[in-house]
Structure 1
């Protein structure tokens, strides 16, 4: 849901604007009702703008309410300098809308105002057409969701817990570039804080978490060495420790380095990362919290944008392997996948019935549980922020998670690292085009087609949109 302001522009001749006042208000009321019916919050109405003084005053008044987006509404011909003056007083994002009704030249007013904004390089979106047209409603929804995501991103804080892992350049980003381009600050936190705080977590809460997983998961496969009840409890303690850091530092999303210090000497963060990204834990429902493994900053930022657009848990995975013979990608990375992806059910127990907790593999001598499951099938959008010659781009392809049957899933998972979670996918992007151009080893996804929203986000952030489907 977006918070929206509306400024309706009218004619600058007083005898004309007086005659058009009722028409302008009626058309704004109709726009307002349409937006509210679509689930958006619309700020209180102000008078139609018909003078230079009103353009500045009313735009400042609307801007002071901090809308995610301000709609400049043109039901009639409007003097273009009103648009320009309002734009000087509007700090946030702007969308120009006209219903294109033939009885009044509202489209002319929009084009004149939009052209003037173009001349001075003021970014804006345009939507034209009747509200009853489904394609118009879709374009409005795309623009408003993108605007809300960008507006809410600005002012957020990312918790970078542990620094760069294993020399990964693509996991480390410049804090000054982030605050300038995205409005996001970076808080550096030593991952020793996870170890230290874990010792003080309430024992009863930890036992409750372990027993909940043992009771509802498809299996907790203790082996007495790499996975024991004590090690699983240590991972649950780490989850609570990270939650404490989130609250104390007011973090909006985060990443945990993990390797090699924690994975060699404490425990893997697989359980903590999976459950943080879930919309629930053993204590009940909660909002998904984006947490990227290997403290992947651009990965976490991609995930946060996808979450802000959709409200859904976001997948994080390595692009582990491409099975060319069946055109299937194996997307897997330790225990990072939210368990929600096992069935994509609102019922946590339905998801957990498909989740196994296996002993960690030899990469991680400290041990703990890896969170194994296979992503449920369905359409998905795959995306990744990456940098080319220091410039940000958003790389996107559509695709789908596929159901190949239990036997084939097992065969493919055992061909790589069985104990990890797997999402078997087909991309619309040709494999060679993807591999030649993709700018990271991690990819991220949410169910559904979000490509138009991501195009709009890219425009609003002034970064390049790279459609991997097109090569």
Structure 2
């Protein structure tokens, strides 16, 4: 059994700010400005807390939510809540605001790493927007980035009224994103192998991982992988279970063109299962391994393997473990994907990891190989596609390491049905020996059409990172 990742769970601290004025005011029924505001302020805070508690991360875990014990009206209140958040291990903060308070005096100092959002009410008598923009200006002046959430419509002031749908959407987005960043911090990228075929993304730069993502690089030579396989340093019972699952699940859909003998296929699968298990053990560790050091693992959130060409010229390629690890299921049933980057391209792996964490689905790795214009589509096929795709097509294809989920709709629910359909839609074919002399098994499937797709790619520019989104 692979070890769980070590690290604090994503923890969000949510607090409300309030106008601190408590002196008596004759024409305020509640007696003071603060007393008048208290029910509305705390009611909204409770709604935000309830929403945060309902949010699940990509692996099915929930955020840990800490509610500030007092509404913050000034520096002492802020210190009280900051202490509570520090003791709880908070990494994410939401300030819920309905009316005016003392601006930057109600903020926290000494924690630039806390991912912060300001969430405000839209109401004429309750100037949440004024405080939001005041605090944002202060945060900007101190070089502290904040995310601002404000609904487009004036809100119902009734205590029973729900949060505005736009506020719900944006708070949810913020918490999923911030929770994902929090989960990444302190984890590792397991680099198994070196630079592959001169690909810039597999030229790993530890400063990029540390500076931009709060992660460390753990490098493992591929001799370590080979040594584990040859010495039997893996869970043999798990290997037998995985092998039985593979041949039962994909019966009749393995090497249907009979390019290899049944004995060769059995030999391939046996080796590929061991590769898959050993890669996971390097990333996550495994209690069953007797060597205490090697049982620890790299505490890697994700990782990659450099296949071509130092490994694949003499051993099976990594298409099989990439397709299995990056999927949402395997022989043990449903699970969170273990993102496995092709050719040790950590920038590609980072994009896949982000996609997985933000959606809860597996990420599809593919090469963007061809652009087909409407003119060339018509010349090649005789079909006029201009009404369907007026700007043409981007053709995505690869040699086989796409996650198994993409043999069907990766968003299909229930998940058990998606797993069944993905297995039924997947064929396995031996590798082309011209490119992979060491052989391998690659997935072959057709992804359903008309799926909404977002393509992302991280790029290194010196010591900086850019992100391309299509």
Q: Which TM-score tier does this pair reach, normalised by the shorter chain?
A: 0.7 to 0.9
Partner of 1:50: 73
Does the C-alpha gap of structure 1 residues 316 and 113 become closer, same or farther in structure 2, counting only changes over 3 Å?
same
- Equivalent of residue 4 in structure 1, options 8, 12, 16: 12
Aligned: 1:376 with 2:398: no
Following superposition, the deviation at residue 289 of structure 1 comes to: 0.1
Query: Is the CA contact (8 Å cut-off) linking 2:208 and 2:463 kept in structure 1?
Result: no
Partner of 1:69: 92
* Consecutive unaligned residues in structure 2, runs of 5 or more: 1-8, 24-32, 57-62, 156-161, 286-296, 378-391
The 3-state SS of whatever aligns with 1:307 is: helix
Aligned: 1:210 with 2:243: yes
Aligned: 1:32 with 2:49: yes
CA offsets, 1:426-469, max 9 Å, x none?
xxxxxxxxxxxxxxxxxxxxxxxxxxxxxxxxxxxxxxxxxxxx
- Equivalent of residue 211 in structure 2, options 169, 180, 205: 180
Does the C-alpha gap of structure 1 residues 388 and 358 become closer, same or farther in structure 2, counting only changes over 3 Å?
same
Query: Is the CA contact (8 Å cut-off) linking 1:9 and 1:50 kept in structure 2?
Result: yes
- Tell me the TM-score normalized by structure 1: 0.78
Query: Is the CA contact (8 Å cut-off) linking 1:291 and 1:300 kept in structure 2?
Result: yes
Following superposition, the deviation at residue 61 of structure 1 comes to: 1.9
Aligned: 1:356 with 2:433: no
Q: How does 1:148-297 map to 2 (within 5 A)?
A: 148-199=179-230, 200=232, 201=234, 205-217=238-250, 219-221=253-255, 222-224=258-260, 228-246=265-283, 247=285, 248-297=297-346
For residues 111 and 283 of structure 1, what CA distance do their matches in structure 2 show? Answer: 50
For residues 181 and 55 of structure 2, what CA distance do their matches in structure 1 show? Answer: 19
Query: Is the CA contact (8 Å cut-off) linking 2:49 and 2:67 kept in structure 1?
Result: no
Does the C-alpha gap of structure 1 residues 211 and 23 become closer, same or farther in structure 2, counting only changes over 3 Å?
closer
Does the C-alpha gap of structure 1 residues 391 and 176 become closer, same or farther in structure 2, counting only changes over 3 Å?
closer
For residues 126 and 335 of structure 1, what CA distance do their matches in structure 2 show? Answer: 42
Following superposition, the deviation at residue 204 of structure 1 comes to: 5.4
- Equivalent of residue 82 in structure 1, options 82, 87, 105: 105
For residues 19 and 90 of structure 1, what CA distance do their matches in structure 2 show? Answer: 33
CA offsets, 1:352-390, max 9 Å, x none?
211111111020011121221122331111101012354
For residues 120 and 181 of structure 1, what CA distance do their matches in structure 2 show? Answer: 20
For residues 391 and 364 of structure 1, what CA distance do their matches in structure 2 show? Answer: 34
For residues 107 and 83 of structure 1, what CA distance do their matches in structure 2 show? Answer: 16
Q: How does 1:110-125 map to 2 (within 5 A)?
A: 110-125=132-147
CA offsets, 1:33-77, max 9 Å, x none?
344455665323410112212212312322432334211121221
Does the C-alpha gap of structure 1 residues 376 and 193 become closer, same or farther in structure 2, counting only changes over 3 Å?
farther
CA offsets, 1:15-39, max 9 Å, x none?
3434533442233223323444556
Following superposition, the deviation at residue 242 of structure 1 comes to: 1.0
For residues 147 and 205 of structure 1, what CA distance do their matches in structure 2 show? Answer: 35
Aligned: 1:300 with 2:372: no
Aligned: 1:21 with 2:38: yes
CA offsets, 1:172-218, max 9 Å, x none?
23102220121010000011222221231455544543343233225
Q: As a proportion of its length, which structure holds more strand?
A: 1
Does the C-alpha gap of structure 1 residues 34 and 360 become closer, same or farther in structure 2, counting only changes over 3 Å?
closer
- Tell me the TM-score normalized by structure 2: 0.78
- Equivalent of residue 402 in structure 2, options 337, 347, 368: 337
Query: Is the CA contact (8 Å cut-off) linking 2:16 and 2:68 kept in structure 1?
Result: no
Following superposition, the deviation at residue 153 of structure 1 comes to: 1.6
For residues 209 and 132 of structure 2, what CA distance do their matches in structure 1 show? Answer: 34
- Equivalent of residue 118 in structure 2, options 92, 96, 103: 96
Query: Is the CA contact (8 Å cut-off) linking 1:59 and 1:90 kept in structure 2?
Result: no
What RMSD, in angstroms, separates the aligned Cα atoms of the two structures?
A: 2.4
Query: Rg bigger for which structure?
Result: 2
For residues 49 and 352 of structure 1, what CA distance do their matches in structure 2 show? Answer: 54
Q: Count matched residues.
A: 396
